[in-house]
Amino acid sequence: MEIKNSTYLVLTIILVILSAIGGFFLFQMNSNNNNSKTATTITPKIELIPTDIVSPTITASPTAKITKTPTASPTAKLSPTLKPTATATPSPTIKITPTTKPTLTPTSVASSSASLITLSKPSDGFSIEYSAARKLYEDTESSGNRYTFYLSSGNFAVHVGLNDKWAWTTPNRNFSGDFLVAGQNTYRYDISTQTIVDLQYGGKNYTLQCVHNGKAALKTECETFLQSFKLL
């Protein structure tokens, strides 16, 4: 009987010990669970929440500041222009090229030499000498008769105006003794390309024209041509 009681006692002690050990482990587990819950509550899981993308502000490193000097807008600088005077002479309207097909008239030649030929026209009251290198053409124009002394480098001509007509118009035709042709006062008009001389005699208006195109040789020939003009 005492042996059974001892056995029960030992088993009871062992059961108590096991119960105590089991209770300790249960307590320990509960304590760990609580600690983990507490830790979970205190440190929540971090989620990446997209925020508005802010463009990064670029801070430029200080560089030499370029100061743009304002360029003054160009102002139109008006240089004084010469105001033409009212006395400007118009360009002559003489046409050298025959309007109708001219006929070569060597029969008009009164005399000739090796370098010069003399044209004599009693009907128009004049004679003149011209270079043998030129060709003579006779025709008419609205003002009267025309005699063209053709040369490719520049033509010479004698215009005979009839019935108070002139071969060209100009408001400045004033005769003077500054330049005489056949002993008559003349009106002389010079430009870079030609020379024109007007004179009156016996009811006729004579215009002597040299198209020299500014060439020195033709200018010299023109002066000889002008001075060879004679009134008949």
**Residue-wise pLDDT tens for the chain (232 aa)?**
556 667 778 888 888 888 888 777 777 776 665 555 544 444 343 333 343 333 343 334 444 444 444 444 444 343 333 333 344 444 454 554 443 444 444 434 444 455 999 999 999 999 999 999 999 999 999 999 999 999 999 999 999 999 999 999 999 999 999 999 999 999 999 999 999 999 999 999 999 999 999 999 999 999 999 999 999 9
Paired strand residues for 199: 206
Buried-exposed string 41-65: b where 16+ CB fall within 10 A, e elsewhere: eeeeeeeeeeeeeeeeeeeeeeeee
Model pTM above 0.85: no
Contact 141, 95 (CB under 8 A): yes
CA distance 205 to 166: 6
In terms of DSSP bridges, do strands 116-121 and 126-131 run parallel, antiparallel, or are they unpaired?
antiparallel
